[in-house]
Structure 1
Amino acid sequence: MSIHTVIHLGSGLCHELDDYLAHDPQHVLLIEADPDTSQQLSQRTAEQSPVEVRCLALAARAGTATLHRYNLPEANSLHPAEGLLQLFPGLRLLETVELETHDVVGVIGALDLDANAEHLLVIELPGEEISVLEALQAADLLRRFRHLRLHGGLEPLYRGSVPAKTLVDWLKTRGFDLVEQDDRDDPDQPYWLFALNPLKLEQAALRKQIETLTTEKAALTKDKTALTSARDEQAKLAAERQTQIETLTTEKAALTKDKTALTNARDEQAKLAAERQKQIEALTAEKAALAKEKTALTSARDEQAKLAAERQKQIEALTAEKAALTKEKTALTSARDEQAKLAAERQTQIETLKTQLQEQQSRVAQLESELAERDQRQALMDEELHKAEGQIELIKDLLLRPDGGL
């Protein structure tokens, strides 16, 4: 079997080196975490050109780790040998060394291995096997190796280890066939040699594809069901909204009609309000004019009342004077009659009393003249009184009207 590249992770002093070189590989990469062991290995392989030794502590993820050194160098590991101590009671921990770990995917990925060539990967990383395998599988680097060799315990011998059967079954499901199990050197820690089976790999890929398609189909079926439900829900919602639209359209039409009617009513009321405003303004103006007229009439009434009172006083005064004159006239008339009687009786004294009579007659004439003058004045006063009474009656008539005289 021709091998193009051999990569041994956790090579130790690599007692298998001669077997590797027997396959005439173009490149043998030996990676060891222990600096002392790595230095010894470098010195031993210095003259062997295809061999490359690197001092690296590998893990699934880069970081830091503790190298555990035991009195049996082959037992050294980045994980405590908890199960191995039960098999070898004399195994003792000598010291621990803090190391920087490197990402196994980064290291192997940087080699850019030829996908069509035969490569061998040897893993001796106690406690880190399954993590490294999973990391390489996830990065699609594991299938670059047609041959895979593992060294580990049938039962977990280091912290972090898994039973050998778990590793074997895991590799089988990833397209690797178990070719050989070599337990001649140590029945508790045999070697397992695996070969990549392209058909299994293809079958695994097909199974994965089937699983993916099945998952996608289930997801699509679920999506279809959800979409169908959503479609039905949307259809129901659309029907409900159509009903709402029709209802709202009817309501809108009714509201538009009401709006038109209310707008017309509003305009009519606005017109009526404007007309009434004009009426109010006209009535207000008329009221103001009537108030002004009322004020003037009230003033005139008061003036006439004052004048009437004054003339009433004049009438009373004239009446008193008239009564006095009438009394005086009566007295004079009585005197005149008495004098006429006396004249008749004293005919004989006419001559004697002629002078006196003439004087009396002159006095009577004067009195009669004064009486005539007073009668004339009385007539004028009666006329003025009559006019005043007419004005008073007119004022009373104005004041006693139902509209308040306005």
Structure 2
Amino acid sequence: MDKIIHVGAGLGIEVAVYLTACAGEIILVEPNPKLADQLRKQTSNEPQVTVIEAAITTNPAYNQLYEYNLPEACGLHTATGLKKLFPGLKIHTVNTVVTLTPQQLLQEHAPEPGQSALLVLETPGEEYAIIKDLVNAGKLKKFSHIDVSANPEAYYQDSVPAAETLRLLAEDGYDVTVEHQEDPDWPRWQLVRNPLKDAVVKLEQQLVDKQELLVGFQQELEKEQQAHQETTKKLEDFKGWLESRKKQVSELESSADQAVKELETLQLKIKEMDTLQLKLNETECKNAERQEQVRELAETNRTITHENKKLKETVAGLEKELVRTEAQISTIKMLMLDQQGEL
């Protein structure tokens, strides 16, 4: 065996067997400080052995190690169901311990691809949760062999019967090779990963992948068909739009012809207006000339009027002078007549 990871190594009874089997690397995990220290002393001359003082749990809140007056009953869970079998069962010590999740443990100590590896679980009440966590993460398959102890009933708080744990292992491709029932309350099973099941799982995964691929192709085909239908509809809409535009173009061409005619008529009217404008300009020039003549006539009239006034004044003066002269002449005539009479 290339690697052995023993979770819940306890007193290390199996260590000698592991060393005899020439295991390349041995990882002993034990939460009890006293037992962990004992394991370190026991294997101090074995460089291939590593002792980890920690409890393996999927819930770090389970960091209390319950020690009972029955040593094999010690664990992270209270032995609720076990007390029915052992009425005298009592807790004598509770220790707060360091915890690691299963995946944290494997971050540094996971088997390499191609290695033969054994996982031993002696974790009262926690074995199902550990196995399920590794199965969900796809990491349990790294182990070619599994040795697990489990109770036939749920003897601990939050635990499950052994049958559930074995079912989970069987579903993940492990076959039971040896069943130890020396102690019916703490049976133990040795399991081996069936390579045929790996092949079946691989084929099933390939089938799932192909089915997903087929579903993807069908979805793509449906999308393409939908897109084709949408494109066809758009094309029909475009044809309708094009026909509408052709009709509009025809109407615009007709309107354009009418506009050309109206433009020609308008151009003729513009020419007529230009001619009238020329005539109007000529008329305005003539009017301007006539206004100038009128102005000159008015000026001449004012001059004549002024001259006429002066003439009238002169005539009036002359008339007065004439009257005076006639009076003088009349006087002279009378004087002459008087003189002639005297003569």
| TM tier relative to shorter chain | 0.7 to 0.9
> CA deviation digits over 1:123-144, x for unaligned, max 9?
2234443443244335543223
CA distance in 2, matches of 1:32, 1:224: 57
In 2, are the aligned partners of 1:67 and 1:76 still within 8 Å (CA)?
Answer: no
Q: Establish whether residue 223 from structure 1 lines up as the match of residue 220 from structure 2.
A: yes
Long gaps (5+) in structure 2: 327-336
Q: Establish whether residue 27 from structure 1 lines up as the match of residue 25 from structure 2.
A: yes
Shift of 1:8: 0.7
Shift of 1:84: 4.0
Distance 1:253-1:77 versus aligned 2 partners, 3 A rule: farther
Q: Establish whether residue 94 from structure 1 lines up as the match of residue 96 from structure 2.
A: no
Q: Match for 1:77 among 75, 78, 83?
A: 75
Q: Match for 1:52 among 47, 50, 53?
A: 50
Shift of 1:39: 0.7
In 2, are the aligned partners of 1:5 and 1:27 still within 8 Å (CA)?
Answer: yes
> CA deviation digits over 1:302-354, x for unaligned, max 9?
64277369749968997997xx99xx9xxxxxxxxxxxxxxxxxxxxxxxx9x
CA distance in 2, matches of 1:237, 1:143: 54
Shift of 1:234: 1.8
SS at match of 1:293: helix
> CA deviation digits over 1:254-305, x for unaligned, max 9?
5477568758967986897698579658746853662463255055246427
Shift of 1:122: 0.8
Report the equivalent of 1:196. 193
Q: Match for 1:205 among 202, 206, 219?
A: 202
CA distance in 2, matches of 1:140, 1:264: 87
In 2, are the aligned partners of 1:34 and 1:67 still within 8 Å (CA)?
Answer: no
Shift of 1:162: 3.0
Distance 1:109-1:202 versus aligned 2 partners, 3 A rule: farther
Q: Tell me whether 50-59 or 303-312 shows the greater mean CA deviation.
A: 303-312
SS at match of 2:151: coil
Amino acid at match of 1:247: S
SS at match of 1:170: helix
Shift of 1:24: 4.3
> CA deviation digits over 1:22-45, x for unaligned, max 9?
544333321112322211222233
In 2, are the aligned partners of 1:123 and 1:149 still within 8 Å (CA)?
Answer: yes
CA distance in 2, matches of 1:11, 1:263: 107
Shift of 1:177: 1.3
CA distance in 2, matches of 1:44, 1:303: 154
Percent identity of the aligned residues?
24
Distance 1:78-1:287 versus aligned 2 partners, 3 A rule: farther
SS at match of 1:181: strand
In 2, are the aligned partners of 1:64 and 1:98 still within 8 Å (CA)?
Answer: no
Report the equivalent of 1:381. none
Report the equivalent of 1:113. 111
Q: Establish whether residue 38 from structure 1 lines up as the match of residue 31 from structure 2.
A: no
Q: RCO (CA 8 Å, sep 6+): is it higher in 1 or 2?
A: 2
RMSD: 4.5
Q: Tell me whether 254-263 or 33-42 shows the greater mean CA deviation.
A: 254-263
SS at match of 2:63: strand
Report the equivalent of 1:155. 153
SS at match of 1:235: helix
CA distance in 1, matches of 2:81, 2:277: 116
Report the equivalent of 2:130. 132
Q: Tell me whether 301-310 or 219-228 shows the greater mean CA deviation.
A: 301-310
Long gaps (5+) in structure 1: 329-352, 357-406
Q: Which has the larger radius of gyration?
A: 1
Amino acid at match of 1:53: V
Report the equivalent of 1:290. 287
Distance 1:311-1:24 versus aligned 2 partners, 3 A rule: closer
In 1, are the aligned partners of 2:66 and 2:77 still within 8 Å (CA)?
Answer: no
CA distance in 1, matches of 2:272, 2:83: 118
CA distance in 2, matches of 1:133, 1:310: 145
Report the equivalent of 1:145. 143
Amino acid at match of 2:190: L
Shift of 1:233: 1.9
In 2, are the aligned partners of 1:152 and 1:190 still within 8 Å (CA)?
Answer: yes
CA distance in 1, matches of 2:32, 2:47: 22
Q: How does 1:5-404 map to 2 (within 5 A)?
A: 5-21=3-19, 23-47=21-45, 50-60=48-58, 66-72=63-69, 73-89=71-87, 90-92=89-91, 94-97=93-96, 99=98, 101-108=99-106, 110-111=108-109, 113=111, 115-185=113-183, 187-252=184-249, 254-255=251-252, 258=255, 276=273, 280=277, 283=280, 287=284, 290-291=287-288, 293-294=290-291, 296-298=293-295, 300-301=297-298, 303-304=300-301, 307=304, 311=308
Aligned residues: 326
CA distance in 2, matches of 1:105, 1:111: 10
Q: Tell me whether 162-171 or 258-267 shows the greater mean CA deviation.
A: 258-267
In 2, are the aligned partners of 1:68 and 1:93 still within 8 Å (CA)?
Answer: no
CA distance in 2, matches of 1:48, 1:309: 156
CA distance in 1, matches of 2:260, 2:131: 86
CA distance in 2, matches of 1:252, 1:78: 88
